[in-house]
Structure formats: structure tokens, C-alpha cells
Homo-oligomer: A and B are copies of this chain.
């Protein structure tokens, strides 16, 4: 963690800003659509954690791989999954990324390197190692990133995969979004030793802790990790300290297990607000410019919802299609 990172050039700054706002607004819109009775699924909102996804994806190429968990809308959007198709997927429409068959916890789009969210905690971690192995054997320098939570850190599959990636020197970057809770369970209770990044030393690999509310701190660590991965110097852990603003999912009231003060503390360090302030302060963009970005995002979201609304339901035949390639 570094105190203050210098701001990047204007276009990068605006693109990071845009990335974060896109996620925030997508989540808020999906939430509202759900409240209005549309079947968007039991969304695990990523609001509050935008900087992690955007910071991590900043140094990824389209052909790099990302694997997510149950809370993955931000990963998908940051990796470039189409917003319209995502919205259609949430609503279970035929035009969705997954033809409406996966939903919020399983969004995937291989064309942009998003190899899938996954509803089982820890389950995607080994899969990421396989993607990195495949890149290595195919002789490319693609890297694979897998996101998991502070709760996910205690699944056995993570341990096995850290070891495997280390001995095989795979280009996997293990990103822990430590948002302090797994459902209602605080990380202080569940995580022996208190740090996911420090567990790296057990495997002889590099682990870094970053401020997950600062997109530049996240991306700085990511740049180092990607360089190592592409150079064949093996895997890394990045633990991003972050916070989810809402409950675990729509029906969860987080004030049953955390204080309003704590929430305020994090909201006061909001990743978008602070980054926006710096853009303006350092004159990389004007308030109007940023408003234009916001407006165009909102417009895209209107289009996405319209697209999803107007899209057809999957054909009943889809129930039994895609179980196999051939059977």
C-alpha cells in the first residue's frame, strides 16, 4: 500500500473513472429493476468494490482470463462483457451472455476473456490455474486472474491451487477482495493470521495488500503482478481491502452485524468520489466532462434495460439444449 499514487494521463484517468461508474450504475440499475419486479436473480451487489475490479483489469489484455465468484458483476464489466447482454442475462432472456441459462452467478463471455462467475465459494480458483497452464503450454503470455473473497480464502481449493501455481510457476494472479465480511461473518473471526496476502510466504510467492478503495493502489500492485506473470515469474496474491456497501444480497440487512459508523467510514472513502475529486483537483477533467461520462453510462443502461426487456425468453427447447455438445 502506498499513500498517494500520481494520477495517470487524462485518458487513462477518465477511462478508470468510467469503468467504476459503469459498475456502480449497472448495479444500482439492476437493483432497481429487481425491486420493480423483474426477475434479475438474487444479486450480490458489488457496489463499493468497483476500484478492485477496475484496478485489476487495467493491465489485462482482452485475451487474458478472468474468473469470478458469486459477486462478479464488477469483474465482468471491468473485463469488457457487454452491458446489454449482461442485463438480458440477469433477466433470463435468450439474448443474455449465457442465453439466460446462467444468471447473475454464472455470467461468462469467453470472447472477452471472462471465463465465468461461479456460485460455489473457491470453486473457480483451480480453474484459473488451468487457464494459466493452458496459456503456458500454448506458449502465450496470457495471464489468469481469479477473484475470491475474505470468506473464500478459507476454502481448501485455494490452498491446493496456490501450491500448484507456485510449483508450476503459473501466471495466475489470486485477487482476494477482502470486504471484511462473508455473509455476516467478520474476517476478524474467520481468518486465522489475519491476512490473506501474508499467506503467500507459505508458498514462496509474492503477496501484497492494497487499498481496494484506491483504483491506483490496486492497479499499481497489479502491474507488478502482471509483469511477473508474463515474464514467467509465477503467481502472486493481491489482497484488496475493500467494503461492500449493501448487504450480502438484496434481502440482507447489514446493520444486523456491522455499525452505521463503520459503513460511514468506508462510504466516506468511496472509490469513485475520491477518484473524481482528484481528477478535478488535478485538472484531468472538468465536472462537465465527468457528467457527460455519467450521462452516457446512464443512457447505455437505459438501452441495456430496453434491450433486455424486449428480448425474447429462451425457447422451451433450451431447457435440454447445451447439456452436451453431442449425446
Residues in A lying within 8 Å of B, measured CB to CB? 154-160, 162-164, 166-167, 189-194, 198-199, 201-205
Q: Which residues of B contact A190 (CB under 8 A)?
A: 163, 167
Nearest-neighbor residue (CB-CB) of A234 within chain B? B192
Tell me if B156 and A160 are in contact (CB < 8 A). Answer: yes
- Interchain residue pairs with CB less than 8 A apart (28): A154-B160, A154-B163, A154-B164, A156-B156, A156-B157, A156-B159, A156-B160, A159-B159, A159-B160, A162-B192, A163-B190, A163-B191, A163-B192, A166-B192, A166-B193, A167-B189, A167-B190, A167-B192, A192-B202, A192-B203, A192-B204, A193-B201, A193-B203, A193-B204, A198-B201, A198-B202, A201-B201, A201-B202
Q: Which residues of B contact A202 (CB under 8 A)?
A: 192-193, 198-199, 201-202
Complex: A155 Cα to B164 Cα, angstroms: 11
Given contacts A154-B159, A154-B164, A159-B159, 5 further A-B contacts (CB under 8 A): A154-B163, A156-B158, A193-B202, A194-B204, A199-B202
Copies in the complex: 2
Q: Which residues of B contact A203 (CB under 8 A)?
A: 192-193
Main SS of chain A's interface residues? helix
Tell me if A160 and B155 are in contact (CB < 8 A). Answer: yes
Complex: A157 Cα to B155 Cα, angstroms: 8
Q: Which residues of B contact A205 (CB under 8 A)?
A: 192
Q: Which residues of B contact A164 (CB under 8 A)?
A: 154
Complex: A190 Cα to B166 Cα, angstroms: 10
CB distance from A320 to the nearest CB of B (A): 34
Nearest-neighbor residue (CB-CB) of A194 within chain B? B204
Q: Which residues of B contact A167 (CB under 8 A)?
A: 189-192
Nearest-neighbor residue (CB-CB) of A122 within chain B? B156
Q: Which residues of B contact A157 (CB under 8 A)?
A: 156
Complex: A111 Cα to B23 Cα, angstroms: 60
| For the complex of A and B, 10 pairs with smallest distance between CB atoms | A156-B156, A159-B159, A166-B192, A193-B204, A192-B203, A199-B202, A202-B202, A163-B192, A193-B203, A156-B160
Q: Which residues of B contact A159 (CB under 8 A)?
A: 154, 156, 158-160
Nearest-neighbor residue (CB-CB) of A166 within chain B? B192
Complex: A160 Cα to B199 Cα, angstroms: 13
Complex: A163 Cα to B189 Cα, angstroms: 11
Nearest-neighbor residue (CB-CB) of A126 within chain B? B156
Complex: A168 Cα to B128 Cα, angstroms: 31
Nearest-neighbor residue (CB-CB) of A125 within chain B? B156
Complex: A189 Cα to B169 Cα, angstroms: 12
Q: Which residues of B contact A154 (CB under 8 A)?
A: 159-160, 163-164
Nearest-neighbor residue (CB-CB) of A199 within chain B? B202
Complex: A225 Cα to B203 Cα, angstroms: 24
CB distance from A184 to the nearest CB of B (A): 16
Q: Which residues of B contact A156 (CB under 8 A)?
A: 155-160
